[in-house]
A and B are shown apart, each in its own frame.
Chain A
Amino acid sequence: MAKTASPVLVLAGAEAGDLRALEDYRRAGGYASLEQARKLGSERVIAEIKESGIRGRGGAGFPMGQKASFIPAPEKTAKPIYLVVNADESEPGAFKDREIIERVPHRLIEGMQIAALAIQAEACFIYIRGEYLTGSEIFAAALAEAEAAGLVGIPITVHRGAGAYICGEETALLESLEGKRGQPRSKPPFPALVGLYDSPTLINNVETIATVPKIIELGGAAYAKIGVAGSTGTRLFSLSGNVVRGGNYELPHGTTFRELIEDCGGGISEGRKLKAIIPGGSSTPILGADQIDTPMDYASMEKAGSFIGSASVIVIDDRACMVQLALRLTQFYMNESCGKCTPCREGTRWLEMILRKIEEGRASRAELDLLLDVCDRILGNCLCPLGDSNAMIVASYVRHFRAEFEAHVEKGGCPVAATSSLTGVRSPVDELYRGRVGQEAAL
C-alpha cells in the first residue's frame, strides 16, 4: 500500500467485499448523499461539485462542475435534459470503471441520481461497453433493487455497446445511443446544448459520477483538499503490464509512478528492469524509465510530456521492442478508427504500413522521417482525439527510443525479435483486415 494512509472514496466500504446488495451499500452509508442532495437542491449540488474541483475521469479532464453549469435550466429549453454515463471503457490499459460497476454499482446509481437532480434531467442513460456483460448484469440487478426501493426518481436506461472503441468518445456514444453508426460529431455544438436527440446532455465517465456521492458527503471544499492543486481527489489507477501485482489502486492525485509501481504493484515482474511507462492509457505519450518519479496529476504529467488520461498505467519492461509496441498499438487505432474523418482513416493505416515495414527491416531511414511527418500531418487535423492519439504516441515512441527504430533500419530487421515479449503479438482482427484490404498483404 501507499506510504501514507490515503482516503478511499469511490471504492469506500468495498475493501472487504463487494457492495452489490442494496442492504450492504446502505450499511456503508449508501444513498445518504442522495437524501442530502435532495435537500440541497439543484443549484447547491452544482456549487458543491464545482467547489470540489473534480475533473472528468474519462481522459479529457474537463471540470465536471463547469460542464454541468453549461446545461440550460429546464425553463430555458424546450427540450428534455439528459444525463448520460459513459461506461464504454475501452481504452487499452483501463479497467477501473469495470471495478466500480461490478463492486459498487449502487454508488454509481446514487451518483447518477444526484447528478441528474443537479442538472434537472428528465432521464438518465448508461452506455456500457458490450464486452462488460457481467458488469451490465450486475448493474441491472442493482438498478432493479434500487428502483424497487423507490430510490430511482429519475429513470435510468441501460444500453450495451456493440464493440467499438470509438463509442467511448462522447459524441460517437450519443450517435450510437440514438441507434446510428457510432461516429463522432463535429463540435461545437457541444453536448451540453445539443446532445442526445439534440437535447441538452451532461455526459460523464463512470468514475466521475461514482465520486459525486462522496463529494456531497464530504462537501466540495473538503474534497478539494485531497490530492494536489488543480488535480483534486482520488483516482483509480489501473496498473497493468510487466508488474507483479496489477490491479486498480485508489490513490490521491499527486502520487508518483514509483509509489504506484513499486509500493502498490510490487515492482517489475521477474525482477526485470523498467523500460518505459504508458502513463494514462494507450492514447497517452510514453514516458521513459527515468520519469518514474513524476507525480501523477494533470500539471506534472503535462510537464513530463504526456497526460494522465484515464490513469491507466502500463508498465513496460526491458524485453519489449518499442517498434513492435508502436505497431501493435497503431493496429489498434487503425482498426478502431471510425472512418469518418480523412486524416485518421487514411493516416492510421499509413502509419501501420510504415511501422510494419520498419519492424520487418524493409524501411529506409527516410521512411523513419516519413513516419514522423505523417504523425505531424495527422495531429491537430482530426475530428476527434482518436487519430491525434495515434499520431502523438507514435511520435513519442520515436522521440524516446529513436536509436531502437534506427537499429531496425540499419540491421534490416528487429534486433530483439528473438527475445521481445511482443514478437508475434498482433491485433486479433489483423488478418481479417489484411485479407479484406487486399494486395499489400502479399508484400
Chain B
Amino acid sequence: MSTPELVTVTIDGRQVQVPKGMGLVEAAAAAGIEIPVFCYEPRLGPAVGACRMCLVEIEGMPKLQTGCSTPVADGMVVHTAQSSEQAARGQSATMEFLLLNHPLDCPVCDKGGECALQDLSFRYGQGKTRMTFHKRSLEKPVPISPTIALDRERCILCYRCTRFSQEVAEDEELTAVNRGALSMISTFENEPYRGPFSGNVTELCPVGALTSTQYRFKARPWEYEQAASVCGLCPVGCNVTVQSREGKVQRVLSRNHPEVDRGWLCDKGRFSYPHLYSEERIVTPRRRGARALEELDWEQALEELAGMVERASGGVVLALSGSETLELAYALAKIVRQGAGSDRVVLPEQTSDALDPFRVPIAALAEAEEIVVFEDCPVLDRAPLLELWLKQARRNGAQVTRIGPSGDIQRAHGEAALACRELAEKGNALGKRLRAAERVILLWSGGGSAGGTHLAALALTLGLNEKKGSGALLLPASPNARGVAEAWAAAGDEDRQPKQIGLLIVSGDEAASDPQVRQLAEHARATVALTLFAGDSGEWADLVLPATSYLEREGTMRNLEGRLQRLRGATGSPVRSELSWLVELAVRLGVALPGSEAALFAELSAQALDGISLSALGERAPLLPHGEARTFEIPEAEEPPILLGGPLELIRYRALFSGPEVEHVPELAFQRPATEIEISPEDADRRGIADGSDVVVRSNGTRVTLRARINAALLPGMVRAAATHTSELARGVEVSRP
C-alpha cells in the first residue's frame, strides 16, 4: 500500500493535514473539532446527508454543505458552527426541526443517558420550543419483531436502520413507508424483522425509536458495570460489552473490533443472554438418586467426584466441548492427565496447525479480489458475521464463488476436499483466476476438513502465504475447538489410553449432546457432566455439576482466525465458577493447579503459546504472527458415504438459532429453524412433492414430518434440514408425500 496523498485543510482556523478524500467530519475530528451528526455512520455506505446536523460553511461555496458527505480538498477553508454564524444558524434550525415532533419523553425512554439527540440537544438546542401545535402522535410501541420494539414518535428518520437492512445485511426487510412528515420506518408488509442481524439497528438508532424488548425499562446506562468480553457462541468471537446491573446481565452490545466484527453482532450473540436466568438452568450440584436427580451441596459433590476419580483408577475419559475456554480445558486436562493418570480425551473436532501460515484477519475479506467458499455447511450457520463480510466483499467488487451442494459450483456434500484438489490442478479455470489474482481468500465451512490440511495444501499451491491480503480460514463447528485441543496437549505428554471407562467427565452442553459422547456414557461405570442445563446430561449422568456460561467466564479463546481473545466475565453469576472448585479437587488429587485464570493462562502460555502475556492480547486482540508454510501429507479425501436407510443424502446442519443458549430464550423462538427440508426440484418432481407441502422423511424405521421447500440451487440427490428436527434420522433418507 502506498502512502496516501496528504492535503491541508483549515477548519475553524486550525490547519490540519489529512489524507486526500477523507470526509470533513473525520478531518475535523483530526483537528480536534466536533462536527455533530445523526444520520452519518460510515459503516452504512456513502453518506446520505439526510439529517442536516453537520452543516458547515466552506469558503467559495454559496450554500452550507453537509460535512458528512463532503470530502476534503487541498486548501479547503471550512467554518463549522463554532466559527460560522451561518453554519450555527443552520445547525440550530436542524436541531429545532428534529425536536419539533419528538416526544421528549426522556424520563421513560430507554435511550436516555446514551441518546445522541439528548446529548446534542443539550449542546446545540435552544432549550425551549416554539412549537405550539400538537406533536405528531402515532401508535407505539410497534413490535417489529419479538426482540425489537419501534417507537415511531421518537424516530428522527435518519435512515440508519433502513440503510443497515438494505446496504449491510442486505435483507431488505426494513424500509420507509409514506413520504414527507408521514414517513415512517416499517418492515415490509408488516412482517416481523427476521434477519439474523436485526439487533444491530437497536445500536445504530441514535434515539429511542428502536429498542430491544429484552432490555426495555430494565436499567439506565449509568448504572452499569461493564465487561469488555468476546462472544463465545461461535468461532468468530465478536467483541462485546456485557453490561450488568445488580449482578445480572442486562444486555450485550457490540464492541467494534475492526478486524473481526466491525461493530456488528448477530442476533444470537446479542439476544441470547437471558439463558443465564432460565428456570431450567442448573445452579446446584445434582446426583442421580433412586428416582431422579437430587440436589446436594458442593462439599458433598466434590467428595463424590473425588471418589469417582479414585474408583476409576486410571480409567478416566474427558469429553471436552469446543466452547470451553483454554483455561478451563487446561485445568480439566491437568486434573485428568496429572491427577487421574489417563490421557484419553474426546475433542470436539480434528484440528491442526496446517493453516497457521495462511492466517489473515477476517476484515481482509472486504479487500479481497477472489473468495472461494467450500460450503458444505452454510457460512451463516457456522460463523454468521462472516456472511456480512462476504456481502461487504461482494459490494467492494470481489468475486465470491461458493462450492457446495447449493453453491455457484455444485458439488455433492462431502466433496469439498476433492474440489480443493481440482482447484490446485493446472488448467482448472477458477484455479487460474485464483493464481492471477493478488488477494485471494479461501474459506472452508463444513466437516471433513482434516484440521484444515486440504485447504492448506491448496493455499500453498496457490502461493497464498506470499500474497499480502490473501489467506485461508477454516470455520470450525465450535467456538474454541483449536484452543481446547491446544490446552489438552499442553497438560501432559504421556499417552495412557485406558480401555475400561471407570469415569466419563463431560464438560459442556455441546459435548453432552454429542452422540459419540452419549455412547461412551453407556459404557462408562460413572459419568459426571458439567452443563448449563440438565437437558441431555440429566438423562444419563450420575453427577451433574452446574457450569458457568461464556458470559460469566474469565479466560481466553482462539477464534477461527487463530486470534487469542479474552473473555471477561460479567459480575455476578448464580453459579460458582468452575475454577474455584477445580482447585479444591486438584488439591485432593495432588495436582498443582494455579488458583486464577490469569495464572493458568501464564502456565499454559509458557508451555504452548510462546509465552505470550495476557496484556499483549489487550481489549482488542491482535492477530499474532504465525509459523512458516510447510508441506505435509495430505490426507485422503473421505470416501462417499454408503447411504443406509434411503436414497437421498440428508445434510444435517446446526442452524444458527439452535443450541442450549438460544433454546432457553423465548424471544428467539421465532428465529429457530423452520420445520422444513430443502429438496431439489428434480427430486421433488419425481416424488410429486409441491413446495410448502408436508412430507414424510424416513430412514431405518424412523419417520419425521417436515415441510418441503424446493431449492432450485440444491444438487439432486441431497436434501438438507436443520439438525434440530432430524437428530433421529440416518444419513440416507427417503422423502415422500404423507
Which residues of A line the B interface, CB within 8 A? 164, 166, 181, 185-186, 188, 334-343, 345-350, 353, 367, 370, 377-378, 380-383, 433, 436-440, 443
Contact = CB atoms under 8 A, between A and B. Distances in A.
B55 interface: yes
B100 A339 contact: no
B235 interface: no
A340 B185 CA distance: 12
Most chain A CB inside 10 Å of its own CB: which residue of B47, B134, B178: B134
Contact of A349 (B52, B70, B181): B181
25 contacts: A181-B176, A188-B70, A335-B179, A339-B178, A339-B180, A339-B182, A340-B50, A340-B157, A341-B51, A343-B52, A343-B94, A345-B181, A346-B100, A347-B97, A349-B181, A350-B97, A377-B89, A381-B52, A381-B55, A381-B90, A381-B93, A433-B182, A436-B178, A438-B134, A439-B134
Interface string B137-169: 110000000000000000011010000000000
B64 interface: yes
Contact of B97 (A342, A367, A437, A439): A342
A220 to B, nearest CB: 29
B376 interface: no
Contacts of A188: 69-70
Contacts of A350: 97, 100, 131, 133
Interface of B (DSSP majority class): loop
B440 to A, nearest CB: 22
Given A186-B66, A440-B134, A341 B180 contact: no
Interface string B110-137: 0000000000000000000011111011
Given A186-B66, A380-B64, A440-B133, A341 B49 contact: yes
Nearest to A364: B132
B651 to A, nearest CB: 35
A349 B52 CA distance: 17
B63 interface: yes
Contact of A381 (B70, B94, B180): B94
A216 B51 CA distance: 44
A438 B182 CA distance: 11
B8 interface: no
A164 B180 CA distance: 11
B48 interface: yes
B15 interface: no
Given A349-B181, A437-B136, A443-B133, A343 B100 contact: no
Contacts of A380: 63-64, 90
B705 interface: no
B96 interface: yes
Identify the interface centre among A188, A346, A381, A433: most chain B CB within 10 Å of its CB: A346
A186 B181 contact: no
A342 B136 contact: no
Contact of B180 (A185, A345, A382, A439): A345
A341 B181 CA distance: 10
Contacts of A377: 89, 92-93, 96-97
A385 to B, nearest CB: 11
B396 interface: no
B176 A438 contact: no
Nearest to A164: B179
Contacts of B157: 339-340, 342, 345
B179 A341 contact: no
Nearest to A441: B134
B101 interface: yes
B183 interface: yes
A438 B94 CA distance: 24
B179 A338 contact: yes
B210 interface: no
A55 to B, nearest CB: 18
Given A339-B178, A345-B157, A381-B64, 17 more contacts: A335-B179, A336-B180, A340-B157, A342-B98, A343-B52, A343-B97, A346-B98, A348-B180, A350-B133, A377-B89, A377-B93, A377-B97, A381-B55, A383-B50, A433-B182, A436-B182, A440-B134
B187 interface: no
A181 B64 contact: no
Question: Which of A166, A334, A380, A443 counts the most chain B CB atoms within 10 A?
Answer: A380
B93 A437 contact: no
Given A353-B133, A381-B52, A443-B133, A339 B66 contact: no
Interface in B24-69: 46-53, 55, 63-64, 66, 69
Interface in B78-117: 89-90, 92-94, 96-98, 100-101
A367 B133 CA distance: 12
A186 B49 contact: yes
Contact of B93 (A166, A339, A378): A378
B175 interface: yes
B36 to A, nearest CB: 13
Contact of A340 (B92, B131, B159): B159
B47 A186 contact: yes
Contacts of A382: 52
Nearest to B51: A342
A349 B136 CA distance: 11
A380 B64 CA distance: 7
Contact of B181 (A164, A181, A339, A367): A339
- Of B46, B90, B131, B180, which is in contact with the most chain A CB atoms at under 10 Å from its CB? B180
Contacts of A340: 48, 50, 157, 159
Nearest to B98: A342
A163 to B, nearest CB: 11
Contacts of A378: 93
A346 B181 contact: yes
A181 B55 CA distance: 24
B575 to A, nearest CB: 49
Contacts of A341: 49-52
A67 B53 CA distance: 30
A367 B138 CA distance: 26
Contacts of B66: 186
A214 to B, nearest CB: 33
A346 B50 contact: no
A337 B53 CA distance: 19
Contacts of A370: 130
B181 A334 contact: yes
Contacts of B131: 350
Nearest to A337: B180
Nearest to B47: A186
Nearest to B183: A339
Nearest to A432: B182
B97 A346 contact: yes
Query: Which of A348, A378, A383, A443 has most chain B Cβ within 10 Å?
Result: A383
B136 A343 contact: no
Given A339-B178, A381-B93, A345 B51 contact: no
B180 A334 contact: yes
Contacts of B90: 380-381
Contacts of B94: 342-343, 381
B183 A345 contact: yes
A353 B131 CA distance: 10
A440 B96 CA distance: 19
A342 B50 contact: yes
Nearest to A338: B179
Contact of A338 (B52, B98, B180): B180
A349 B100 CA distance: 10
A382 B66 CA distance: 10
A124 B213 CA distance: 49
Contacts of A346: 97-98, 100-101, 181
B79 to A, nearest CB: 15
B137 A439 contact: yes
Contacts of B55: 381
Most buried by B among A334, A339, A343, A437: A339
Contacts of B97: 342-343, 345-347, 350, 377
Contacts of A383: 49-50, 52
Contacts of B101: 346
